[in-house]
Structure 1
Amino acid sequence: MLPFRKKNNKSKELVAIHIAPEGVAIASASVVAGLRKLSYVAFLDVSEPLNNASLVASEVSEVGLSDSCCSLVLSTGEYQLLLVEAPEVPKDELKEALIWRVKDLIQYSTDDVIIDFFELPDDAFRGRRKMLYVVAADRKLIEKRISWLESIKLTPVYIDVPEIALLNIAENLSESEAGTVILYLDEKQSIVNMMSGSWLYLSRALSYSHSAQLDNTVLDLQRSMDYFESQIGKSACTRIIVLPLQIGETPLMMELRRNLDADVQSLDLGDVIESDVPLAIDLQQRCFLAIAAALRNEAGA
């Protein structure tokens, strides 16, 4: 079974796919001078894409991406992300031990789950037991997604989740030791990543509509920033970066600026990544996760 985050992908061309109810986001990046550069980005308005593989396959073939290595980004509800204490076992036994550690926390049976994990920096614990994030998903769902990717003539190499895909962009935005909040907005479930330098220290999901609950979004960000400073012991957050690109002064942007003591920005991908494709606002908003997943660097863990 494919890992969620495979190390050292050496393919020259990487295609990332994110499936939404209204269509499919596709982004492709090639390696130029050791870094990923976008070569293709599109959103395909395909009704029920999982039942219309031929339409997606036609686009993949037409733009010359057939047989490329591919990453699939899972959507909200297709996985669980859990922060758990790391078992004291040899590393080659860690996944097996984690299955039993999370068995009462996941919505799948131990026979039907596939898991992977990613570790936090050593200074994230302040003398407490070491913790790590476990990603869990239904094995049957993953197998169906892999079969679908193969049916559109792509070669699956790993499965990704939004929290980790975002790091491919965010790790270059958090160069100082001062804390940075990465807020990824989605109407069903937004994501808060708390970073220092290029490292992720805390990730939270906001399981409500941010546009309908502005006050809750502001309050949850404030709580996360307080926890980051008081419990994890990192420097105070000085920047909040809102993704994907927001158009003008939205109500949320105004509320964040009014209530939080940090520089609130929204990010135009065209300013920070190399791309052969003009990254219009609508394209960034609809394809952000696919773009982020396609930008995995050569040493990405």
Structure 2
Amino acid sequence: MGLFAKAKKHEGWLATSFSAEGVCAAVVKRRAGDKPLVQAAVMYAGRKPLPAATLEKMNRDVHAQSYRSTTLLGAGEYQLLMIDAPNVPPEELKTAVRWRLKDMIDFPAADATVDVVDIPGDKNGPGRAQSLFAVAARNSAVAQRQALYGECKIALSVIDIPEMAQRNIAGLMETQGRGLAMLSFDGEGGLLTVTSDGELYLARRIDVTVAQLAETSDTQRQQYYDKITLELQRSFDHFDRQFHFITVARLVLAPTGSDGLHAYLADNLYMPVEALDLAALFDFSKVPDLLAAGGQARFFLALGAALRQEGMPA
């Protein structure tokens, strides 16, 4: 199975995201002319590796066979790298990318499942070497996830990554022709993405967790805020140099379940900073618990992964 394998068309997606606390499962149905409907959102507590019984319960609770299923790898199970696209025929692309990655990833390339995501260039500019994102996932992580779902009789259609889930949510908010920066935090750290017209152009990890944002010490919390601000400034400077044809209009801060960071970033960045309420993007009428910021933070990536649709760029 490729990381971004295509699934047969079926109504709705069931997406799962794993954390140190357990697994979150969300079912989302896109609707023409209306907000995506969140049909279910449930969390099952437990430490990794989760026993098959946990997913078997999820299977029964949300009727997993009724939906196409996708799951997200954790931050330590893959690497995402931006590289120049090799000048090879399409059928040789992944082989060429694997060879190029052998000195760039922290595990043997022979032990990697590799996939690629195109990064569009400037449509109105002179020709330049096309870039792409290369995703290298550990074969062991992919095999373990497939085995877990297979044991529970859940047909897993796609194995995805958090950057693409966050891109999907950003796509609900973009202004045509402008860039949108989005920043989220979970137990594995922060994730900054910049998207435009539904395409991912930048993805950066920030070494600050959602638990650290809730730090009770004002001094410690201030240090985390300063670190995040510096990383954002550096990332935006780099983005402006590399993608000068895209203007980033605003930064959207995903729900964190804690207060303070939004105001700090708004005071210290040159661009507008908006705090995201996912209720503005999703219909939570069937899952009212997600109206609270804490629930939105917990299910953020699962909801993004469940927004997947046929025809979107992988």
TM-score between the two structures when normalised by the length of structure 1: 0.89
Residue 174 of structure 1 deviates from its aligned partner by 1.3
| 1:284 partner amino acid | Q
Change (3 A) 1:63 1:130: closer
Question: 3-state DSSP class of the match of 2:38?
Answer: strand
3-state DSSP class of the match of 2:122? Answer: helix
| Whole-angstrom CA distance in 1 between matches of 2:54 and 2:78 | 26
Specify the SS of the correspondent of 2:64.
coil
Letter in 2 for 1:180: L
Q: Which residue of 1 aligns with 2:194?
A: 194
- Measure the CA separation in 2 of the matches of 1:55 and 1:108: 30
CA drift of 1:18 comes to 0.9
Query: Is contact 1:245–1:266 with CA below 8 Å preserved after alignment?
Result: no
User: Residue 220 of structure 1 aligns to a residue in which SS?
Assistant: helix
Match of 1:27 in 2: 26
* SS state at 2:42 partner: strand
How far does residue 41 in structure 1 lie from its aligned partner after superposition?
0.6
In the aligned structure 2, how far is the partner of 1:12 from the partner of 1:67?
8
Q: How has the CA–CA distance of structure 1 residues 111 and 226 changed in structure 2, closer, same or farther, with 3 Å as cutoff?
A: closer
Give the % identical residues.
31
**Any stretches of 5+ residues in structure 2 without a counterpart?**
214-220
Which secondary structure state, in structure 2, belongs to the residue aligned with residue 166 of structure 1? Answer: helix
**Structure 1 residue identity aligned to 2:129:** R
Question: Structure 1: 5+ residue runs without aligned partners?
Answer: none
Structure 1 segment 95-106 matched on structure 2, within 5 A:
95-106=94-105
Q: 2:157 corresponds to which residue?
A: 157
The answer to whether the Cα contact below 8 Å between 2:185 and 2:256 also exists between their aligned partners in 1 is: no
1:108-119 superposed matches below 5 A: 108-119=107-118
Higher mean C-alpha displacement, 222-231 vs 280-289: 222-231
| Aligned alpha-carbon RMSD (Å) | 2.3
Tell me if structure 1 keeps the 8 A contact 2:44–2:54. no
Instruction: Report the counterpart of residue 13 of structure 1 in structure 2.
Output: 12
Q: What residue in structure 1 maps to residue 311 of structure 2?
A: 299
- Corresponding position of 2:277: 268
| TM-score, normalised via structure 2 length | 0.86
1:222 has 2:221 as partner = no
Assess if the C-alpha contact under 8 Å between 1:246 and 1:266 holds in 2: no
**Given that residues 225 and 236 in structure 1 are in contact (C-alpha distance below 8 angstroms), is that contact kept between their aligned partners in structure 2?**
no
One-letter amino acid of the counterpart of residue 218, structure 1? T
In the alignment of these two chains, the number of paired residues is 297
Given residue 151 of structure 2, which amino acid in structure 1 is its aligned partner?
A: S
Structure (1 or 2) with the greater helix fraction: 2
Whole-Å Cα distance in 2 between the matches of residues 127 and 221 of structure 1? 29
CA–CA distance in structure 1, aligned partners of residues 30 and 176 of structure 2: 27
Corresponding position of 2:287: 277
